[in-house]
Amino acid sequence: SLPQCDESVRSVEEDGVVKFYACVSGELSRFDNKLLISSLKSIHSDIDEKTGDIIFPGNLIITGDIKDGRKIKASGDLTVTGNAEKSLIYSEVSVNLNGGINGKGGGTVWAKKNANLHYAENARVFSGSDIKIEEYCFKCLVKTNGCLSLTGSPGVLLGGSIHAAKGV
Protein backbone atom coordinates (compact mmCIF):
# COMPACT_ATOMS: atom_id res chain seq x y z
CA SER A 1 0.00 0.00 0.00
CA LEU A 2 1.10 3.55 -0.64
CA PRO A 3 2.47 5.43 2.37
CA GLN A 4 0.64 8.37 3.91
CA CYS A 5 2.34 11.79 3.79
CA ASP A 6 2.50 14.80 6.05
CA GLU A 7 2.90 18.38 4.79
CA SER A 8 6.62 17.83 4.12
CA VAL A 9 5.88 15.40 1.24
CA ARG A 10 3.42 15.91 -1.61
CA SER A 11 2.04 13.03 -3.67
CA VAL A 12 0.76 13.45 -7.21
CA GLU A 13 -0.83 10.84 -9.47
CA GLU A 14 0.06 11.21 -13.14
CA ASP A 15 -1.07 8.66 -15.73
CA GLY A 16 -1.66 6.01 -13.09
CA VAL A 17 1.76 6.54 -11.49
CA VAL A 18 2.05 8.05 -8.02
CA LYS A 19 5.00 10.40 -7.58
CA PHE A 20 6.23 11.83 -4.30
CA TYR A 21 7.83 15.29 -4.06
CA ALA A 22 9.72 16.84 -1.16
CA CYS A 23 8.26 20.16 -0.01
CA VAL A 24 11.12 20.96 2.39
CA SER A 25 14.83 20.17 2.66
CA GLY A 26 15.90 17.51 5.12
CA GLU A 27 16.09 13.79 5.76
CA LEU A 28 13.40 11.50 4.34
CA SER A 29 12.16 8.74 6.62
CA ARG A 30 9.35 6.19 6.58
CA PHE A 31 7.70 5.19 9.83
CA ASP A 32 4.44 3.26 10.27
CA ASN A 33 3.74 3.55 6.53
CA LYS A 34 4.06 7.34 6.66
CA LEU A 35 6.60 9.45 4.77
CA LEU A 36 8.00 12.58 6.37
CA ILE A 37 10.98 14.88 5.98
CA SER A 38 12.78 16.14 9.06
CA SER A 39 14.79 19.38 8.86
CA LEU A 40 16.80 18.29 11.93
CA LYS A 41 19.35 15.50 12.03
CA SER A 42 21.07 14.27 15.19
CA ILE A 43 24.21 12.14 15.07
CA HIS A 44 25.34 10.49 18.32
CA SER A 45 28.89 9.43 17.50
CA ASP A 46 32.29 10.75 16.58
CA ILE A 47 32.73 11.79 12.96
CA ASP A 48 35.78 9.98 11.60
CA GLU A 49 36.89 7.96 8.56
CA LYS A 50 34.26 5.32 9.30
CA THR A 51 31.31 7.75 9.22
CA GLY A 52 32.77 9.94 6.46
CA ASP A 53 31.89 13.55 5.71
CA ILE A 54 28.46 14.91 6.61
CA ILE A 55 26.47 17.29 4.40
CA PHE A 56 22.92 18.02 5.55
CA PRO A 57 20.31 20.45 4.12
CA GLY A 58 18.95 21.56 7.49
CA ASN A 59 19.84 21.84 11.18
CA LEU A 60 22.49 19.38 12.35
CA ILE A 61 23.42 18.30 15.88
CA ILE A 62 26.50 16.15 16.44
CA THR A 63 27.10 14.61 19.87
CA GLY A 64 30.73 13.61 19.59
CA ASP A 65 34.09 14.77 18.28
CA ILE A 66 35.09 15.68 14.73
CA LYS A 67 38.31 13.90 13.77
CA ASP A 68 41.08 14.96 11.35
CA GLY A 69 40.19 15.41 7.69
CA ARG A 70 36.39 15.45 8.03
CA LYS A 71 34.01 17.97 6.44
CA ILE A 72 30.78 18.87 8.20
CA LYS A 73 28.37 21.16 6.32
CA ALA A 74 24.85 22.22 7.28
CA SER A 75 22.39 24.51 5.54
CA GLY A 76 20.87 25.36 8.93
CA ASP A 77 22.32 25.70 12.41
CA LEU A 78 25.20 23.37 13.26
CA THR A 79 25.82 22.29 16.86
CA VAL A 80 28.74 20.07 17.92
CA THR A 81 28.99 19.03 21.56
CA GLY A 82 32.53 17.70 21.29
CA ASN A 83 35.86 18.99 20.01
CA ALA A 84 37.09 19.32 16.45
CA GLU A 85 40.51 18.50 15.06
CA LYS A 86 41.88 19.54 11.64
CA SER A 87 38.52 19.59 9.86
CA LEU A 88 36.02 21.87 8.13
CA ILE A 89 32.98 22.90 10.19
CA TYR A 90 30.63 24.99 8.00
CA SER A 91 27.11 26.36 8.42
CA GLU A 92 25.01 28.63 6.25
CA VAL A 93 23.52 29.97 9.50
CA SER A 94 25.35 29.59 12.86
CA VAL A 95 27.95 27.25 14.34
CA ASN A 96 27.89 26.32 18.03
CA LEU A 97 30.98 24.33 18.94
CA ASN A 98 30.46 23.48 22.62
CA GLY A 99 34.00 22.15 22.72
CA GLY A 100 36.64 23.83 20.64
CA ILE A 101 38.87 23.36 17.64
CA ASN A 102 42.51 22.35 17.57
CA GLY A 103 43.04 23.04 13.89
CA LYS A 104 46.69 21.98 13.63
CA GLY A 105 47.18 24.82 11.12
CA GLY A 106 44.38 23.75 8.79
CA GLY A 107 41.13 23.34 10.70
CA THR A 108 38.34 25.79 9.84
CA VAL A 109 35.13 26.95 11.49
CA TRP A 110 33.01 28.98 9.06
CA ALA A 111 29.55 30.42 9.79
CA LYS A 112 27.59 32.83 7.61
CA LYS A 113 26.09 34.33 10.79
CA ASN A 114 27.41 33.71 14.32
CA ALA A 115 30.13 31.36 15.54
CA ASN A 116 30.35 30.31 19.21
CA LEU A 117 33.30 28.22 20.44
CA HIS A 118 34.74 27.18 23.76
CA TYR A 119 38.31 27.58 22.46
CA ALA A 120 40.24 27.89 19.20
CA GLU A 121 43.82 26.80 18.72
CA ASN A 122 45.91 27.07 15.55
CA ALA A 123 42.77 27.24 13.36
CA ARG A 124 40.85 29.52 11.01
CA VAL A 125 37.59 30.99 12.27
CA PHE A 126 35.36 32.92 9.84
CA SER A 127 31.99 34.55 10.45
CA GLY A 128 29.62 36.88 8.63
CA SER A 129 28.49 38.26 12.00
CA ASP A 130 29.87 37.87 15.53
CA ILE A 131 32.35 35.35 16.93
CA LYS A 132 32.29 34.43 20.61
CA ILE A 133 35.13 32.38 22.06
CA GLU A 134 34.76 31.48 25.71
CA GLU A 135 38.20 30.45 26.88
CA TYR A 136 41.10 31.24 24.54
CA CYS A 137 42.16 31.89 20.96
CA PHE A 138 45.79 30.86 20.25
CA LYS A 139 47.58 31.36 16.91
CA CYS A 140 44.39 31.61 14.84
CA LEU A 141 43.36 33.42 11.69
CA VAL A 142 40.08 35.11 12.64
CA LYS A 143 37.96 37.10 10.18
CA THR A 144 34.54 38.51 11.03
CA ASN A 145 32.23 41.21 9.74
CA GLY A 146 31.04 41.64 13.32
CA CYS A 147 32.72 41.60 16.70
CA LEU A 148 35.15 39.09 18.22
CA SER A 149 34.34 38.54 21.92
CA LEU A 150 36.40 36.55 24.40
CA THR A 151 33.84 35.91 27.12
CA GLY A 152 35.73 33.76 29.63
CA SER A 153 37.57 34.85 32.72
CA PRO A 154 40.21 35.45 31.57
CA GLY A 155 39.58 35.42 27.85
CA VAL A 156 42.98 35.01 26.20
CA LEU A 157 43.89 36.17 22.70
CA LEU A 158 47.45 35.22 21.79
CA GLY A 159 49.18 35.39 18.40
CA GLY A 160 47.63 34.88 15.02
CA SER A 161 45.88 37.39 12.78
CA ILE A 162 42.60 39.06 13.73
CA HIS A 163 40.33 41.01 11.36
CA ALA A 164 37.16 42.09 13.21
CA ALA A 165 35.11 44.80 11.45
CA LYS A 166 33.37 45.88 14.67
CA GLY A 167 36.29 45.33 17.03
CA VAL A 168 37.58 42.89 19.63
The residue ranking higher by pLDDT, 101 or 8, is 101
Task: Tell me how far apart the alpha carbons of residues 74 and 11 are, in angstroms, rounded to a whole number.
Answer: 27
Instruction: Give the pLDDT band of residue 25 (cuts 50, 70, 90).
Output: confident
pTM for the complete prediction?
Answer: 0.88
The residue ranking higher by pLDDT, 121 or 1, is 121
Look at residue 118 in the predicted model and tell me its pLDDT: 96
Average pLDDT for residues 117-143, to the nearest whole number?
97
The mean pLDDT value of the chain amounts to 95
